[in-house]
Amino acid sequence: MIRYGLIGCGNIGLKRVNSLLNCKNSKLIIAVGPKTKDTKCYGKLISKLTGCIYTRDFSNIFNHKLDAAIISTPSKVAFEIAKKILNNKINLLIEKPLGLNLYQSKILTDLALKNGVFLKTGYNLRFDEGVKKIKKLLIKNKIGRIYFIKIVYGNGTVLTNTNDIGSLLDIGTHSVNLVEFLLDTSSFDSYYNFSQKLEKFTNTNGFLFLRKKKILISIHHSLLKWKNDFYLEISGKVGCLKLESLPKWGRQTLTLETRVFPSGAPLLKKYFYFKDYSWINEWNFFSRKLKEKKLDKKIIKEGYNTMLIMEKFKKSLNK
């Protein structure tokens, strides 16, 4: 049984808890809400759903024997909390991004390695059912040599977003991390960043471009879309994969297009997904790693490696 604590009882914290309600190998012991009561908080609801202790005093979390902690606070306050968790040798799942910059990301990664605890940055898109199917199809070489990848990920939260980090570090890092997963690499040959400062965020809307050998990658991140939008396309020599929407918004469709040579219409095979299992899939992965009791340094460094790419994007913007 994994005994865990939750720090951050907002929308994401509630999603984390809801995904684990029927998880028999895990038990929420304590949930920590914000000090100020004017912040939206589902702490009392979480306590009612799980029977856990609810508190607004973060230090109370160290009064309990915990195997792990989840940090679902806004990014601007997560760093200091994460340092205390890791220094107390508690395994940690922390929402992306890992820190507000490369400096913070490196500190948290180094702390996890120094203290011998497992650190997982919460990039749950890797565990989306449609994305997992794409990964399997790529491993089976169903579309041949990859020509290009295109991702669009956006929403219309520019006026209501409370994370205060803009779309680049929010959904932008999600998409970059997804490319790392699909291509099994964190090293690219070139980095280009075209971002706009609109409304209240520095990076409200933008386009990122990567190149890995002969593969071209385009990523659009935005908080200015009129509605929630996700689209992933991977085009190859003998076929194409197209993933439309995410299950949290309704039906998700994955289309495998197999080319008919020399120029016929492609053969289509469709897969449909209706429920978002990414949160529980990520937690199951996290819990398996804890049971192995052997630190997976590649996963521990995942959040840092993604932030390292974001740092290169930042430098390309300043050229």
Q: Which residues pair with 232 in a beta bridge?
A: 151, 243
At 196 the pLDDT is 81
Mean pLDDT of 102-113: 98
Neighbours of 150 (CB within 10 A): 15
What are the pLDDT digits (tens) for 277-310? 999 999 999 999 999 988 899 999 999 999 999 9
Q: What is the pTM of this model?
A: 0.94
Strands laid side by side in the 146-154 sheet: 190-198, 201-212, 215-222, 146-154, 229-236, 239-244, 252-260, 264-273
At 263 the pLDDT is 84
Share of the chain above pLDDT 90, in %: 82
Q: What is the mean pLDDT of the chain?
A: 93
What are the pLDDT digits (tens) for 173-213? 999 999 999 999 999 999 999 988 776 666 789 999 999 99
Q: Are 116 and 144 in contact (CB under 8 A)?
A: no
Does 36 score more than 90 pLDDT?
no
> Please, what are the domains in the chain?
2-123+279-295 (3.40.50.720), 129-276 (3.30.360.10)
At 318 the pLDDT is 55
Q: How confident is the model at residue 38 (pLDDT cuts 50, 70, 90)?
A: low
At 199 the pLDDT is 67
The total number of residues written for the chain in this structure: 319
At 201 the pLDDT is 63
* First-to-last C-alpha distance (Å) of the chain: 51
- Give, as one character, the DSSP assignment of residue 283: H
Share of the chain above pLDDT 70, in %: 97
Top-confidence residue, 266 or 158: 266
What are the pLDDT digits (tens) for 221-254? 998 888 899 999 999 999 999 999 999 999 999 9
174: left (phi over 0), alpha (psi -120 to 50) or beta: alpha
What are the pLDDT digits (tens) for 4-18? 999 999 999 999 999
At 197 the pLDDT is 75
At 300 the pLDDT is 97
